[in-house]
Amino acid sequence: MTSAESYYPDEPVKPVVKTSTIPGPESAKQIAQLDQVFDARPAYFIADYEKSIGNYIVDVDGNAYLDLYAQIASIALGYNNPALIKAAQTPEMIRALVDRPASGNFPSADLQKTIKQILKFAPKGQDHVWSGLSGADANELAFKAAFMYYRANQRGYDTDFSTEENQSVMENTAPGAPPLAVLSFKRAFHGRLFASGSTTVSKPIHKLDFPAFDWPHADYPSYKYPLDQYEQENSLEDDRCLALVEHLIKTWKTPVAALIIEPIQSEGGDNHASNYFLQKLRDITLKHKVVYIVDEVQTGVGATGKFWCHEYADIQPPVDLVTFSKKFQSAGYFFHDPKFVPNKPYRQFNTWCGEPARMIIAGAIGQEIVDKDLTAQVLRVGDYLFQKLEALQSKYPTRFQNLRGRGRGTFIAWDLPSPEERDLLLKKLKLNGCNVGGCSTNAVRLRPTLTFEEKHADIFIEALSKTVADL
């Protein structure tokens, strides 16, 4: 029995689209009502989460879409997953929700077990975790950890703060508030808060009107596809970008304390970084004593065929911090050097110090992935899907440019010639029963759940073929 069959015996056998427009009339009515209390302009339709099941999201008009977007890459196992419902019905979960602890001051007796369960799924080389609330929060917490570590290395971990530091920090000036930078990459997406927003460089709309830190943005490699035909060009591109990273670290107006990178830039266009590039960044960060942060918010938790995407690169020594959120539901960062725990309490602290209910769910998701060997399934289904997409690419080369993600599970994307054609494709795909997302301005990205199987891929390819023929 396949994972989808065992979890979802009642999953629809194919999409059902009952309305001639999407949103359908009931969705449109409810979007207008919702818009009175919430900015509902980005809503594609109103979902019925009670009826959504497995790989199908159902809307209030009764349309059932095969979902290859899965809440912007955030549903690991499918809708109404029985194992997660079971985890949600435990006394431990009820305590976490009803009497939510302020875990820093009043941790529950359950917390140690919950954290140990999450740590079972830590990336190779990492054995500590700190919890936050969202992807952006995870990255900002990681930046704080990196800055404290960087300064502790300069002053000595056990050395107390000077009077001057204690006074100047209250004026937001140095040396208490030192001028330090985080280096990120053009086209990156690390969240929309203030520090994370300064490292995000994918679209102006994410950043406009907010004061920003003056931090450097290096070029992220832009490869030519198919990769096996452009090895030399792509290797030169890696070296060009690496030289730029090192140049920025050496010359930036303030010291670069940390570097953050997505192993595949997702919102910014599904841009891949080679194993070589990710390893060389380790060499550069070690040489210049820069904290190396890998953002696995979107790439983490199985969809690339490994639990953590950067594990493909087997980076040695392991990176310093790995941030997560989305498919893990809980958010935070993994680390291994105990000196990333600040020298004093209350430096990395807030009322909640994470969300125990979400942490319990993260542990349950990880357990299901391992028990059902879902990363192996993702690799198998991803290869199957990729081959079908290559066949479509041969037929429609202009509509399937830069097909990418071979050997990276179902984490697949390609480009359309223009944003208009991409948007039209996504719109028509919905009318043909498939909910698919975009990224960058003209890319299509596939982000199905880990329980997506060959039979789902066949349905998608049929809908896609029909849609592309009709563009």
Active-site residue identified among 110, 137, 295, 320 = 295
Q: In 3-state terms, what secondary structure has residue 17? A: coil
**Interacting residue with ligand AKG among 72, 177, 227, 424 (CB under 6 A):** 72
Judge whether 239 counts as a catalytic residue. no
Please say if 18 is a catalytic residue. no
Q: Where are the alpha helices (DSSP H) in 270-323?
A: 275-287
Closest residue to ligand NCCCC(=O)O: CB criterion? 267
Contacts of 147 (CB under 8 A, 6+ apart): 178, 180, 257, 258
* H/E stretch holding 128: strand 128-132
- Give which of ligand NCCCC(=O)O, ligand AKG, none residue 271 binds (C-beta under 5 to 8 Å, depending on kind): none
Of the candidates 329, 327, 333, the residue with the CA atom closest to the CA atom of residue 358: 329
Mask 146-185, x = binds ligand AKG (CB under 6 A)? ----------------------------------------
| 267 near ligand AKG, judged by CB under 6 A | yes
List the x/- string, 307-326, binding to ligand AKG by CB under 6 A. Answer: --------------------
Closer residue to ligand NCCCC(=O)O (CB): 118 or 416: 416
**Contact with ligand AKG (CB under 6 A) among 266, 274, 442, 449:** 266
Is residue 106 part of the annotated active site? The answer reads no
Per-position b or e across 349-366, b if 16+ CB within 10 A of its CB: eeeebbbbbbbbbbbbbb
Helices (H) and strands (E) in the chain, counts: 15, 16
Looking at residues 34 to 73 of the shown chain, list those that interact with ligand NCCCC(=O)O (rule: CB under 6 A). 72
- The Cα–Cα gap between 192 and 16 comes to 35
The 247-286 contact track toward ligand NCCCC(=O)O, x by CB under 6 A, reads --------------------x-------------------
Element holding 251 (H helix, E strand)? helix 231-251
* Closest to ligand AKG by CB, 249 or 273: 273
How many angstroms separate the first and last alpha carbons of the chain? Answer: 38
Q: What count of Cα atoms within 13 Å lies in the side-chain half-sphere of residue 413?
A: 25
> Is 326 known to be catalytic?
yes
Q: Closest CB to ligand AKG among 135 and 305?
A: 135
3-state secondary structure of 445: strand
Residue the block writes with tokens 């790995």: 322
Query: Nearest 5°: CA angle at 452, between 25 and 323?
Result: 95
CB of 267 to ligand NCCCC(=O)O, least distance (A): 5
How many residues of this chain bind ligand NCCCC(=O)O (CB under 6 A)? 3
Question: Between residue 430 and residue 459, which ones bind ligand NCCCC(=O)O under the rule CB under 6 A?
Answer: 438
Tokens of 82: 């029985």
Q: Which residue has the tokens 């079971």?
A: 86
The residues annotated as belonging to the active site are 189, 295, 326, 351
> Which residues of this chain interact with ligand AKG, rule CB under 6 A?
72, 135, 189, 192, 266-267, 298
> Which residues of this chain interact with ligand NCCCC(=O)O, rule CB under 6 A?
72, 267, 438
